[in-house]
């Protein structure tokens, strides 16, 4: 995959605690040099001390039988995803900062299976990885919050800086508070005061930057440099990758089958990169199938990767295709978590998607309330707008023929409604006010179901004929 074979491995001198306690090292993805833990990584500003790359894999020394046991044994006394402590990047259990995140339900969503079968004659199984009720923030950012806080605590770091459009700042604020670490969050001015309050209420620092997200990031970087504080890493951050890797560990623990397709809303792509990392680690032990096909969905209002992918595909992926992508300044999406107009990770992520046999596509942002209403109706689960973009990707994929008979589809429901109350309002159609009982209409739930599905048919699925033609039906 992304890792070129290192021509040589040089060992960096150890720092920090004795090596006997250490269960992992970091290995630079570009030059292969081994970095002896996070103390060294932070000392070199979260970059490889040899070549400056910001991509490093955590490599565990955990013995294979111990890893195999993680999926069968009763939990080790640590809550949540920390039952996988032996393959998470913290050496001492006392440094674990957790709110019990990660062990969320993975549901079968038969209503989507029925739809695929009836509408497209595709028999597939559909699972929803329900991060919508995660403990701290109701998003899958809890996973990173917990790992980052634990790693920082273990390495004696007292201050941390991050720029964020929302979810990350809120998750980090909560976990860093629990770890006794001071946090400086930079969020764009446009972000709601509620978001700022969710960080500030813990007594953490939040700066609303007069400008867009790009300026916010620059300011956070300058602040971190000026005050010599570590800054939250980007999409390649090994702490974030290890956190999201736990999603696939849960598939192994809870399901009898490994997914053939993984669907997620796409911003920078840490999620799919983390699943791929997990597969690289565990496939040699025979614990998982091959990497699933990554079907990644961007909002139609901010889809630079989907646009680049479409173009590259049209041209047959010519030499150097992965280096060509547009950059959108001030993307006009209302989904702040997916507002990444500069697709910096595309040159790494897109080849990974191609290797997996997957797709990068765009889903109509205006149709997200409809998707969320459908899920609320069928499963009494309230998903957030980014999750609706992900699930919308399932419908797009059906339409374009990217889901096949026999597929086992895992959809990451990455956030619940808790983080986006304004989105809840768009899911609610009947806004009538009444003055008398005569004004109160009766309505049958079955009628509502028909309305929701019809609307889906008429808007989202209106390209179905083209897909049928492509399939030769
Ligand atoms: C709910 C949700 N879905 C998807 C994403 C995109 O994540 P990734 O970095 O894997 O593209 C994010 C965060 O950016 C998110 O908060
Ligand atoms: Zn390197």
CA of 30 to the centre of ligand 2 (A): 5
The pLDDT-based confidence of 463 (bands split at 50, 70, 90) is low
Per-residue pLDDT at 21:
59
| 274 & 316 share domain | yes
Averaged pLDDT for residues 306-320: 98
CATH code for the domain in which residue 323 is found? 3.40.50.1100
| 215 & 250 share domain | no
* Ligand with the closest atom to the CA of 51: 2
The answer to whether residue 84 is domain-embedded is no
13: pLDDT strictly greater than 70: no
51: pLDDT strictly greater than 90: yes
Q: In this structure, are residues 301 and 331 in contact, taking their beta carbons and an 8 Å threshold?
A: yes
pTM of the model: 0.92
300 lines ligand 1 (CB under 6 A): no
> Which atom of ligand 1 is nearest to 271's Cα?
10
Averaged pLDDT for residues 107-112: 98
464: pLDDT strictly greater than 70: no
18: pLDDT strictly greater than 50: no
pLDDT top residue among 135 and 238? 238
283: pLDDT strictly greater than 70: yes
| 290 & 319 share domain | yes
Strand partners, 129: 106, 412
Averaged pLDDT for residues 83-109: 95
The answer to whether residue 432 is domain-embedded is yes
Averaged pLDDT for residues 101-112: 94
CA of 12 to the centre of ligand 2 (A): 11
| 285 & 422 share domain | yes
- Boundary residue ending a domain (203, 227, 251): 227
| 352 & 404 share domain | yes
The pLDDT-based confidence of 285 (bands split at 50, 70, 90) is very high
3-class secondary-structure state, position 186: strand
Per-residue pLDDT at 459:
92
The answer to whether residue 69 is domain-embedded is no
The answer to whether residue 381 is domain-embedded is yes
| 264 & 406 share domain | yes
The pLDDT-based confidence of 192 (bands split at 50, 70, 90) is confident
414 lines ligand 1 (CB under 6 A): yes
**Sign for the pseudo-dihedral over CA of 209, 307, 280, 84:** positive
1: pLDDT strictly greater than 80: no
255: pLDDT strictly greater than 80: yes
| 207 & 332 share domain | no
Averaged pLDDT for residues 425-453: 87
The answer to whether residue 96 is domain-embedded is no
Per-residue pLDDT at 370:
96
The pLDDT-based confidence of 16 (bands split at 50, 70, 90) is very low
Q: In this structure, are residues 247 and 412 in contact, taking their beta carbons and an 8 Å threshold?
A: yes
What is the percent of the chain where pLDDT is above 70?
Answer: 93
468: pLDDT strictly greater than 70: no
The pLDDT-based confidence of 137 (bands split at 50, 70, 90) is confident
Averaged pLDDT for residues 348-354: 98
268 lines ligand 1 (CB under 6 A): yes
Averaged pLDDT for residues 144-162: 97
Per-residue pLDDT at 108:
98
- Residue 97 phi/psi, 5-degree rounding, is -115, 115
Tally of domains within the chain: 3
Ligand 1: which residue has its CA nearest to atom 1?
A: 414
pLDDT top residue among 3 and 53? 53
| 45 & 110 share domain | no
> Which atom of ligand 1 is nearest to 272's Cα?
10
| 176 & 301 share domain | no
CA separation for the pair 184, 187 (Å, rounded): 10
Per-residue pLDDT at 329:
86
Averaged pLDDT for residues 233-259: 95
Residue to mutate, 136, 302, 346, 414, ligand 1, most ligand atoms under 8 Å from C-beta: 414
Q: How far is CA 201 from each of CA 136, 194, 198, 232, rounded to the nearest angstrom?
A: 14, 10, 6, 20
The answer to whether residue 100 is domain-embedded is no
The answer to whether residue 82 is domain-embedded is no
The answer to whether residue 90 is domain-embedded is no
| 368 & 405 share domain | yes
pLDDT top residue among 10 and 82? 82
The pLDDT-based confidence of 19 (bands split at 50, 70, 90) is very low
The pLDDT-based confidence of 301 (bands split at 50, 70, 90) is very high
SS (H, E, C) the chain: CCCCCCCCCCECCCCCCCHHHCCEEEEECCCCCEECCHHHHHHCCCCCCCCCCCCEEEEECCCHHHHHHCCCCCCCCCCHHHHHHHHCCCCCHHHCCCCCCCCCCEEECHHHHHHHHHHHCCCCEEEEEEHHHCCCCCECHHHHHHHHHHHHHHCCCCEEEEECCCHHHHHHHHHHHHCCCEEEEEEECCCCHHHHHHHHCCCCEEEEECCCHHHHHHHHHHHHHHHCCCECCCCCCHHHHHHHHHHHHHHHHHCCCCCCEEEEECCCCHHHHHHHHHHHHHHHHCCCCCCCEEEEEEECCCCHHHHHHHHHHHCCCCCCHHHCCCCCCCCCCCCHHHCCCCCCCHHHHHHHHHHHCCEEEEECHHHHHHHHHHHHHHHCCCECHHHHHHHHHHHHHHHHCCCCCCCEEEEEECEEHHHCHHHHHHCCCCCCCCCCHHHCCCCCHHHHHHHHHHHHHHCCCCCHHHHHHHHCC
User: Where in the sequence is the domain holding 49, given as residue range(s)?
Assistant: 1-61
265 lines ligand 1 (CB under 6 A): yes
| 440 & 291 share domain | yes
Give me the torsion for CA of 285, 289, 293, 294, rounded to 10°.
-50
- Boundary residue ending a domain (194, 227, 260): 227
* Ligand with the closest atom to the CA of 414: 1
pLDDT top residue among 469 and 294? 294
| Chain mean pLDDT for the chain | 91
- Boundary residue ending a domain (227, 255, 287): 227
Name the nearest CA neighbour of 262 among 142, 310, 273, 121: 273
CA of 256 to the centre of ligand 2 (A): 38
pLDDT top residue among 191 and 249? 249
> Which atom of ligand 1 is nearest to 415's Cα?
1
Averaged pLDDT for residues 393-401: 97
Per-residue pLDDT at 11:
52
| 188 & 331 share domain | no
């Amino acid at each position: 995959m992304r890792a070129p074979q290192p021509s040589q491995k040089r060992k960096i001198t150890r720092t920090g605690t004795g090596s006997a306690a250490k269960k992992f090292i970091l290995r630079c993805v570009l030059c292969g040099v081994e970095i002896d833990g996070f103390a060294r990584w932070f000392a070199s500003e979260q970059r490889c001390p040899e070549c400056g790359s910001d991509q490093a894999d955590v490599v565990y020394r955990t013995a294979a039988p111990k890893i195999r046991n993680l999926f069968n044994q009763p939990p080790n006394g640590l809550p949540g995803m920390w039952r996988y402590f032996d393959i998470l990047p913290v050496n001492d259990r006392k440094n674990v900062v957790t709110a019990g995140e990660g062990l969320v339900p993975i549901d079968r969503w038969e209503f989507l299976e029925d739809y695929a079968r009836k509408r497209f004659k595709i028999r597939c199984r559909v699972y929803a990885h329900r991060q919508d009720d995660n403990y701290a923030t109701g998003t899958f950012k809890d996973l990173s919050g917990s790992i980052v806080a634990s790693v920082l605590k273990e390495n004696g770091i007292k201050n941390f800086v991050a720029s964020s459009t929302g979810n990350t700042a809120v998750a980090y604020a909560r976990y860093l508070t629990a770890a006794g670490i001071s946090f400086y969050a930079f969020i764009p001015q446009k972000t709601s005061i509620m978001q700022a309050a969710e960080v500030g209420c813990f007594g953490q620092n939040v700066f609303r930057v007069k400008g867009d997200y790009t300026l916010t990031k620059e300011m956070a970087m300058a602040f971190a440099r000026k005050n010599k504080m570590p800054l939250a890493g980007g999409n390649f951050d090994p702490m974030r990758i290890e956190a999201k890797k736990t999603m696939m560990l849960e598939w192994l623990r809870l399901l009898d089958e490994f997914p053939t397709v993984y669907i997620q809303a796409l911003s920078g792509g840490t999620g799919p990169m983390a699943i791929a990392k997990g597969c690289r680690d565990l496939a040699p032990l025979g614990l998982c199938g091959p990497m699933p096909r990554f079907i990644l969905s961007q909002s139609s209002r901010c889809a630079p990767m989907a646009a680049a992918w479409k173009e590259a595909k049209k041209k047959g992926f010519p030499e150097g295709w992965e280096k060509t992508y547009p950059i959108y300044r001030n993307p006009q999406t209302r989904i702040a978590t997916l507002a990444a107009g500069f697709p910096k990770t595309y040159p790494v992520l897109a080849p990974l998607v191609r290797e997996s046999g997957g797709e990068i596509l765009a889903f109509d942002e205006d149709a997200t309330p409809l998707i969320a209403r459908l899920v609320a109706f069928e499963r009494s689960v309230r998903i957030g707008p980014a999750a609706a973009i992900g699930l919308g990707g399932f419908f797009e994929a059906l339409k374009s023929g990217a889901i096949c008979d026999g597929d086992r589809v895992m959809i990451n429901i990455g956030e619940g409604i808790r983080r986006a109350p304004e989105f809840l309002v768009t899911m609610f159609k009947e806004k009538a006010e009444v003055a008398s009982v005569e004004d109160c209409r009766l309505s049958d739930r079955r009628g509502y179901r028909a309305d929701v599905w019809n609307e889906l048919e008429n808007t989202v699925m209106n390209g179905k004929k083209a897909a049928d033609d492509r399939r030769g039906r």
